[in-house]
Amino acid sequence: MEISNNAWVLISRPKEYFSSENVKLTQMKIPKLSVGEFLVKNIWISFDPTQLNWMKRDTYVKKIQIGEVIRSLAVGKVIESQNEQFKVGELVSGVFGWQEYAISNGLFVNHVRPIESVGPPWYSLSLFGITGMTAYFGVTEIGKVKEGDAFLVSSAAGSVGSIAGQIAKIKGARVVGIAGGQKKCKWVMEEAGFDYCIDYRTDNVSEKLSEVFPDGVDVYFDNVGGEILDIVLSKIKQNGRIVLCGAISGYGTMNFQPLRNYANLISKRGRMEGFIVSDFTNRFGEAYKNLYLWLKEGRLKQKEEITDGLENAPEVFKKLFTGSNFGKQILKIADI
């Protein structure tokens, strides 16, 4: 079967933030499968802030080369297979990119788990995928959140942040979020069940933090870096932990604001620790089991926005950096 594939390829590197000029929608032929390979028809594509880093520079993975398809996670259906482990008709998730079809040899590919009635297949890109896993291990392993902790998370209405806060709540912490705008803060408190949400666009973050956590912060789950991280460093409690998950405020310029308050970690015997979700790959099963249970019990809310059409990929991606996204961004490009 001869298939032609529509794919977004990188044609120039973003100087600061991503622009539609950096990518081009191209048609390419799908080569014949070799033994061990299978062909996936993408259905749902995931958007994650780190894709901007992948377009710009080598990080924990090699940067996307000019002319290469934009790398991203996706869920799709196997439509042709020369690999016994991945059979035609199965739903799989993997690094399949901003394109209609992807050839894979099975590396880093998972079968979409039997989510039964608690969630749709695209949860493999959110709650049961990269964002849920990041939230779970950030809270439980890096933050070591325990009963009674004062827990703070930035980008609290976002994919990772909203789940991190809800997990901390399940662990018995008092949970405060920081998010941009009243609509997001309302959802964070009323739907996700946080104890409070600071709107960093209108509130004085430092003053509000002193009001809501007068004794300071035990665990700060940081998704944004920059000025907010510096403020929280001045409010950290004895033996406080800062989970360095992301630093989206600096992904554009990479010119991070200096941290004037970091020395507070010395007197407070505090700790700041970065991590990458793939550090925990061999424990994803454990996270899945807990997240599945909590979702089934109605203790987790997952918010997403689904847009149709591969042609809209650049516009959806841009939303992550303006805050006009609300929940996990998914692009649906085919019917199941």
Contacting positions for ligand NAP (CB under 6 A): 48-50, 130-131, 134, 155, 157-161, 179-180, 184, 223-224, 245-249, 275-277, 320-321, 323, 325
Burial of 305 (0-12, 13-18, 19+ CB in 10 A): middle
Q: How far is the CB of 47 from ligand NAP (least distance, A)?
A: 8
The nearer residue to ligand NAP, 21 or 279, going by C-beta atoms, is: 279
100 close to 45: Cβ distance less than 8 angstroms: no
- Tell how many helices (H) and how many strands (E) occur in the chain: 9, 15
d(CA 85, CA 15): 41
- When the beta carbons of 279 and 297 are compared against ligand NAP, the nearer one is 279
User: DSSP 3-state assignment of 293?
Assistant: helix
The residue (of 9 and 320) whose beta carbon lies closer to ligand NAP is: 320
Instruction: Please say which residue, 41 or 161, places its beta carbon nearer to ligand NAP.
Output: 161
Least Å from the CB of residue 60 to ligand NAP: 8
**What whole-number distance in Å separates Cα of residue 285 and Cα of residue 291?**
10
What is the smallest separation between the CB atom of 152 and ligand NAP, expressed in angstroms? Answer: 14
Distance CA 77, CA 58 (A): 30
The C-alpha atoms of residue 241 and residue 252 are separated, in whole angstroms, by: 26
Comparison of 220 and 321: residue with beta carbon closer to ligand NAP: 321
Give me the least distance between CB of 277 and ligand NAP, in Å please. Answer: 4
3-state secondary structure of 51: helix
**CB of residue 275 to ligand NAP, shortest distance in Å:** 6
